[in-house]
């Protein structure tokens, strides 16, 4: 049943966001700490578990795949509701701060990508 | 009468209207990608860029802060592109992600979140100083805004910054997320963003969930779950570090 997949996905998201909120309160910040990340881990673990016990039906999988496929259109809608005007018209300092942060972060990726901590391969 | 009735129907069924609108927008984008760029620029990258341009136009016409969603007919775009559906779809992309790749890159992914927050904060703070700010609260708030547009106001509020500075920090964060969305597909080949390992680091360094979501969608949708996973920890870590350790460091220097 398609609804099983959608319900599983929704359950993972709510649980993850709940745990993220609790984690945020425990460390004393007014933000959700990793809620979506926890939800993703939960979905990966639960979908792997059910593979062993009873195979997850293809209709159930479709309930998750549909939302996964809706990801790009949702991101397009997200882009269309950003406050681009505020970002562009706020003056040079904010724009330079944002651009510089992105440029430096991009430059760090190749450096960190060379680090493979906790992997067994020896070269 | 026809126009009034149609408008009423579109407003009343806002989310459904958004599905039609985004569907047409994506279709036009893929046509542009295939015909004008011969597939060199990915259709989703064009769709996201078009969305941002329309958001700019919407903002200038309505004076609101929700881009196109401030037109009552397109209010549904705000729901479809809001945090609820965005996070739901991001979680769905994790279905089928490799647990092994996550486990292998777990440590470096966590390290990249902390490096990413500190790096963006320092860069933003340096820019603030270069523009003549000397108050540690203002410098820290702008630095926090260079992390994400949520970390900025949270830090500014915690430190008691004035609302003008908080608005600037939000603008810095918005600039970052817009640039990450547009820029990622172009720089991806140069920085080796082509594996789950690199995507985990990318998410951790960039941190803006919307920027990472849009940037990876336009680069390689298979990498989305890995980048999104680390990015979701970034804002929390930023809200933890910026008003505390990082602010104290700025105050020690000034």
Q: Are residues B237 and B122 in the same domain?
A: yes
Could you give the angle at the alpha carbon of A53 between the alpha carbons of B91 and A15, nearest 5°? 30
For residue B134, give its domain range.
99-253
Please tell me if residue B77 touches chain A, with a CB cutoff of 8 Å: yes
The partner residue sitting opposite B51, judged by closest CB among A30, A35, A79, is A79
CA distance to partner chain A, nearest, from residue B167 (Å): 9
Contacts of A117 in chain B (CB under 8 A): 107-108, 111
Q: Is residue B177 assigned to a domain? A: yes
Burial of A101 (0-12, 13-18, 19+ CB in 10 A): buried
Q: Closest by alpha carbon to B166, among A104, A90, A80, A88?
A: A90
Judged by CB atoms closer than 8 Å, whether chains meet at A84 and B52 is answered as yes
At residue A50, the pLDDT reads 58
At residue B4, the pLDDT reads 92
Per-residue pLDDT tens for A29-81?
667 777 887 888 898 888 777 555 555 677 788 889 999 889 889 988 988 98
The contacts of residue A39 (CB under 8 Å, 6+ apart) are: A12, A13, A15, A16, A17, B87, B91, B94
Q: Is residue B244 assigned to a domain? A: yes
DSSP state of A1: -
The contacts of residue A40 (CB under 8 Å, 6+ apart) are: A12, A16, B90, B91, B93, B94, B97, B225, B228, B229, B232
Provide mean pLDDT across the span B62-85.
91
Query: SS3 string of B132-149?
Result: CCCCHHHHHHHHHHHHCC
Q: Is residue B20 assigned to a domain? A: yes
Q: Are residues B51 and B119 in the same domain?
A: no
Q: Is residue B42 assigned to a domain? A: yes
Q: Is residue B92 assigned to a domain? A: no
Q: Are residues B147 and B223 in the same domain?
A: yes
Domain map (residue ranges) of chain A: 2-86, 91-123
Q: Are residues B73 and B103 in the same domain?
A: no
Which range of A70-74, B25-29, B81-85, B234-238 scores highest in mean pLDDT? It is: B25-29
Helices within chain B (DSSP H only): 2-12, 14-36, 43-62, 75-80, 83-93, 99-130, 136-147, 151-159, 163-191, 196-206, 209-219, 224-241, 247-253
Q: Is residue B91 assigned to a domain? A: no
ipTM: 0.85
**With contact defined as beta carbons under 8 Å apart, do B158 and B252 qualify?**
no
Contacts of B213 in chain A (CB under 8 A): 71, 75, 78
What gap in Å lies between CA A115 and CA A113, rounded to an integer?
A: 5
Q: Are residues B61 and B152 in the same domain?
A: no
pLDDT at B143 over 90: yes
Q: Are residues B36 and B142 in the same domain?
A: no
Higher pLDDT, A89 or A96: A96
Q: Are residues B142 and B249 in the same domain?
A: yes
CA distance to partner chain A, nearest, from residue B4 (Å): 25
The domain tally of chain B equals 2
Q: Are residues B105 and B169 in the same domain?
A: yes
What gap in Å lies between CA B246 and CA A36, rounded to an integer?
A: 25
CA distance to partner chain B, nearest, from residue A56 (Å): 12
Interface of B with A in 161-190 (CB under 8 A): 167-181, 183, 187
The partner residue sitting opposite B217, judged by closest CB among A45, A72, A97, is A72
What gap in Å lies between CA B247 and CA B144, rounded to an integer?
A: 9
Q: Are residues B104 and B38 in the same domain?
A: no
CB B215: neighbour CB atoms within 10 A? 32
Q: Is residue B196 assigned to a domain? A: yes
Contacts of A115 in chain B (CB under 8 A): 108, 111
Provide mean pLDDT across the span B160-189.
87
Band (pLDDT 50/70/90 cuts) for residue A122 is: very low
CA B235 from centroid of its chain's CA atoms: 11
Q: Are residues B109 and B36 in the same domain?
A: no
Q: Are residues B65 and B104 in the same domain?
A: no
Picking from B47, B81, B115, the residue at the C-terminal end of a domain is B81
Q: Are residues B109 and B77 in the same domain?
A: no
What gap in Å lies between CA B143 and CA B164, rounded to an integer?
A: 14
CA distance to partner chain A, nearest, from residue B43 (Å): 10
Phi, psi angles (nearest 5°) of residue B195: -135, 160
The contacts of residue B27 (CB under 8 Å, 6+ apart) are: none
Distances (CA, A) of B41 to A84, B175, B182: 22, 22, 11
Distances (CA, A) of B199 to A25, A32, B162, B193: 29, 22, 36, 6
Q: Is residue B89 assigned to a domain? A: no
Per-residue pLDDT tens for B6-47?
999 999 999 999 999 999 999 999 999 889 888 777 788 788
Nearest-CA residue of chain B relative to A71?
B89
């Amino acid at each position: 049943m398609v609804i099983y997949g959608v319900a599983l996905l929704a359950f993972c998201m709510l649980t993850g966001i709940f745990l993220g909120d609790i984690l945020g309160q425990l460390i004393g910040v007014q933000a959700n700490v990793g809620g979506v990340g926890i939800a993703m881990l939960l979905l990966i673990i639960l979908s792997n578990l059910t593979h062993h016990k009873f195979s997850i039906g293809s209709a159930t999988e479709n309930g998750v795949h549909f939302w996964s496929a809706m990801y790009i259109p949702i991101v397009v809608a997200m882009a269309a509701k950003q406050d681009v005007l505020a970002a562009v018209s706020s003056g040079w300092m904010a724009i330079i701060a944002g651009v510089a942060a992105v440029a430096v972060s991009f430059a760090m990726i190749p450096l960190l990508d060379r680090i493979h901590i906790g992997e067994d391969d020896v070269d | 009468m026809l126009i009034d009735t149609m408008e009423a129907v579109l407003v009343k069924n806002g989310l459904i209207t958004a599905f039609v609108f985004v569907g047409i927008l994506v279709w036009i984008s893929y046509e542009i990608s295939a015909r004008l760029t011969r597939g060199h620029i990915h259709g989703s990258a064009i769709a996201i860029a078009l969305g941002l341009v329309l958001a700019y136009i919407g903002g200038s016409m309505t004076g609101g802060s929700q881009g196109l969603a401030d037109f009552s007919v397109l209010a549904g775009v705000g729901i479809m592109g809001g945090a609820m559906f965005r996070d739901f779809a991001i979680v769905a992309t994790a279905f089928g992600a490799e647990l092994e790749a996550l486990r292998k890159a777990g440590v470096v992914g966590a390290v990249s979140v902390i490096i990413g927050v500190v790096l963006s904060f320092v860069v933003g703070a340096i820019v603030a100083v270069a523009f003549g700010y000397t108050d540690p609260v203002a410098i820290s708030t702008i630095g926090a805004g260079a992390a994400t547009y949520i970390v900025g106001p949270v830090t500014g509020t915690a430190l008691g910054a004035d609302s003008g500075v908080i608005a600037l920090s939000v603008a810095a964060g918005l600039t970052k997320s817009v640039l990450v969305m547009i820029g990622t597909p172009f720089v991806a080949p140069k920085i080796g963003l082509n594996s789950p390992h690199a995507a985990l680091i990318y998410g951790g360094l960039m941190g803006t969930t919307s920027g990472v979501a849009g940037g990876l969608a336009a680069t390689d949708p298979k990498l989305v779950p890995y980048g999104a996973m680390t990015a979701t920890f970034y804002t929390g870590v930023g809200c933890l570090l910026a008003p505390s350790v990082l602010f104290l460091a700025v105050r020690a220097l000034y």
